[in-house]
Structure 1
Amino acid sequence: MKSNVTMRDIAEKLGVSSVTVSKALNDKDGVSDELKERIKTLAGEMGYRFNTAAKSMKEGLTYNIGVVIPERFTGPGQSFYLYIYQQISRELEQYGYYGILHILHREDEEQLHLPRIYYDRKVDGFILLGQVSKPYIELVQSMDLPKMFLDFYDEHADIDSVVTDNFYGAYELTNYLIAQGHRDIAYVGNLYSTSSIQDRFLGYYKSLLEHRLPLRNEWVLSDRDDEGVYVDMELP
């Protein structure tokens, strides 16, 4: 593969002008959607890389996205959110962006300190991965940059969220266990910790109701405290 691939290289491959390639790669008007897709696909295959520094100076953008993960979700044995961050970074690269990971320390969350990369204008937007406290959500709303929540939501926040269908997933899991003949089914999770855990519990409870099985409070097991720190748990 040729190193330092240019727009002219891409243009020659497709028999179009460098201007057309530039418009397509920058999502400008004047190029059909079909041709844009062909140009972007070929650019990726040839290993083309945007000159991010030049674009930043020209357009006033950093081409960075801050991905904020609360510290409690990054401890030993908790690789889920770090894996999601890796996937986010890979997707961002397809659009000429970079993902900057910021671990939100407990003290900063409690004292309502926004990430320094926000004040230093190092990013064009934020993805918050993992639930933060209500006061911190209100602080995030005040940020004058695009932002979104991933893997949690807040019904009072005017911020877009991308979440799993936790309710239906837990509902179907419980239905399956019951269909296999199980009747003593416990639920694990602190109901006051995250919206995802609450939604899973409601799906579990709906299945119990439909099958006329009692909800036993002693079988709702908390695996973490209200701050999200895991605790020792005794099984029934």
Structure 2
Amino acid sequence: MKNNVTMRDIADRLGISSVTVSKALNDKEGVSEELKLKIKNLAEEMGYRYNTLAKSMKEGLSYNIGVIVPERFTDAGQSSFYLNVYQTITRVLENRGYYGILYILNHEDEKQLNLPRIYTEKKVDGFIILGQISKGYIQKIQSIELPKVFLDFYDEHADIDSVITDNFYGAYEMTNYLMQNGHREIAFVGNLYSTSSIQDRFLGFYKSLLEHKIELKQDYILNDRDEKGAFIDIKLPDKLPTAFVCNCDQVAHNLVHKLTKLGYNIPRDFSVVGFDNDIYATITEPGLTTVEVDTKEMANNAVNFVLEKIKDPSKSFGRILVKGKIVYRNSVKKIENKVT
């Protein structure tokens, strides 16, 4: 792929004028939406890079998007999912002529409601907030006039656009899969007060229990992290279930490690499932059955929303759900139901 691809190169490939290419890449009138998309896709494929400096001087935009990630999601061992999503966002942004600036929101700044310097110094045109922030900080972010999009969480502030994976349905399908494999004693692992994602995954799990007329046992809701988001040792119930639905792959990995140290075998003694399909799903022994999150689709939506809002601040997209899919590995065992 050559780095000095010009509009003329794109025009020649499609047999059209470079003026048409210019109009399409700059979202000007006079080109059909279908052709615009075709031109943009080819530009991306050919590695075309917009002349950002010239454009920013002309249009008064920085062509930077701030990506805010709370510090608790970047702590050692917790960063794999969010780092992967951030890298995907930056790739999507670069293909659109923008750059992503990562801003780690530390605990103190979040508590004191301090806005990022990249905002006060006018270094960005909008924000993607990746990972759940506190209610107070959501209100602070709401007060700034720049376009913003929440990614991987939402809350009662329905006027802020958000892109999330379909946590509810993913966990519901996964719990149903355990039911199909004969499991009836199933625990959920996750702090229900931590994030909207964990809450929705728990509710999907609970819906499956309700549909199968299985009582929700309080001691089958196992805490995995403290109020700051740091992982804690998972306390097992006195009467163990046959299966565990974990709110993410890393927690499933931690649980498998704990159970193995106690002398148990997965899946012979217990079935364990996760969520995300990140690196922890494959480094766990055995590999985890999990829900794959479509991070590319989520990043595409978040970037599209924030860039559209830069062009037209009145635009609103609401809450968008991106469907995941179950990836089957070897952490689930079929069991025969005992007649009671």
- TM-score, with normalisation over the residues of structure 1? 0.93
One-letter identity of the residue aligned with 1:28? K
Could you tell me how far apart the structure 2 residues matched to 1:42 and 1:210 are? 48
Contact preservation (8 Å) 1:141, 1:157? no
Could you tell me how far apart the structure 2 residues matched to 1:31 and 1:153 are? 36
Deviation at 1:37, TM superposition (A): 3.4
Relative to structure 1, is the Cα distance of residues 232 and 12 closer, same or farther in structure 2, using a 3 angstrom cutoff? same
| 1:108 paired residue number | 109
Contact preservation (8 Å) 1:5, 1:47? yes
Could you tell me how far apart the structure 2 residues matched to 1:120 and 1:106 are? 21
Could you tell me how far apart the structure 1 residues matched to 2:228 and 2:118 are? 25
| 1:62 paired residue number | 62
One-letter identity of the residue aligned with 2:110? E
Could you tell me how far apart the structure 1 residues matched to 2:230 and 2:33 are? 48
Could you tell me how far apart the structure 1 residues matched to 2:121 and 2:145 are? 13
Instruction: String of CA shifts for 1:71-118, please: whole Å, max 9, x gaps.
Output: 100122221011001111111122111111111111110110111111
| 1:25 paired residue number | 25
Contact preservation (8 Å) 2:188, 2:220? yes
Q: Which is worse superposed, 41-50 or 89-98?
A: 41-50
* Residue 191 (structure 2) pairs with residue 207 (structure 1): no
Relative to structure 1, is the Cα distance of residues 140 and 212 closer, same or farther in structure 2, using a 3 angstrom cutoff? same
Relative to structure 1, is the Cα distance of residues 213 and 34 closer, same or farther in structure 2, using a 3 angstrom cutoff? closer
Contact preservation (8 Å) 1:127, 1:148? yes
Contact preservation (8 Å) 1:167, 1:199? yes
Contact preservation (8 Å) 1:67, 1:128? yes
Matches within 5 A, 1:81-230: 81-230=82-231
Contact preservation (8 Å) 1:67, 1:127? yes
Q: Which has the higher contact order (CA 8 A, sep 6+)?
A: 2
One-letter identity of the residue aligned with 2:93? L
Unaligned ranges ≥5, structure 2: 238-340
Could you tell me how far apart the structure 2 residues matched to 1:217 and 1:128 are? 33
One-letter identity of the residue aligned with 1:208? L
- TM-score, with normalisation over the residues of structure 2? 0.65
Contact preservation (8 Å) 2:223, 2:235? no
One-letter identity of the residue aligned with 1:209? L
Contact preservation (8 Å) 1:74, 1:81? yes
Relative to structure 1, is the Cα distance of residues 33 and 213 closer, same or farther in structure 2, using a 3 angstrom cutoff? closer
Contact preservation (8 Å) 2:3, 2:49? no
| 1:4 paired residue number | 4
Give secondary structure in 1 for the equivalent of 2:128: strand
Contact preservation (8 Å) 1:126, 1:147? yes
User: How high is the sequence identity, in percent, across the aligned residues?
Assistant: 72
Could you tell me how far apart the structure 1 residues matched to 2:42 and 2:165 are? 33
Relative to structure 1, is the Cα distance of residues 140 and 210 closer, same or farther in structure 2, using a 3 angstrom cutoff? same
| 1:51 paired residue number | 51
Contact preservation (8 Å) 1:138, 1:157? no
Report runs of 4+ in structure 1 exceeding 6 Å deviation.
Answer: none
Instruction: Say what the alpha-carbon RMSD is for the aligned residues.
Output: 1.7
What is the count of residue pairs matched by the alignment? Answer: 236
Deviation at 1:159, TM superposition (A): 0.2
| 1:40 paired residue number | 40
Deviation at 1:15, TM superposition (A): 4.5
Could you tell me how far apart the structure 2 residues matched to 1:168 and 1:87 are? 24
Give secondary structure in 2 for the equivalent of 1:186: strand
Instruction: String of CA shifts for 1:188-226, please: whole Å, max 9, x gaps.
Output: 111111111111111212222222222111111110112
Q: Which is worse superposed, 152-161 or 107-116?
A: 152-161
Could you tell me how far apart the structure 2 residues matched to 1:223 and 1:153 are? 21
Give secondary structure in 1 for the equivalent of 2:203: helix
Give secondary structure in 2 for the equivalent of 1:163: strand
Could you tell me how far apart the structure 1 residues matched to 2:47 and 2:109 are? 40
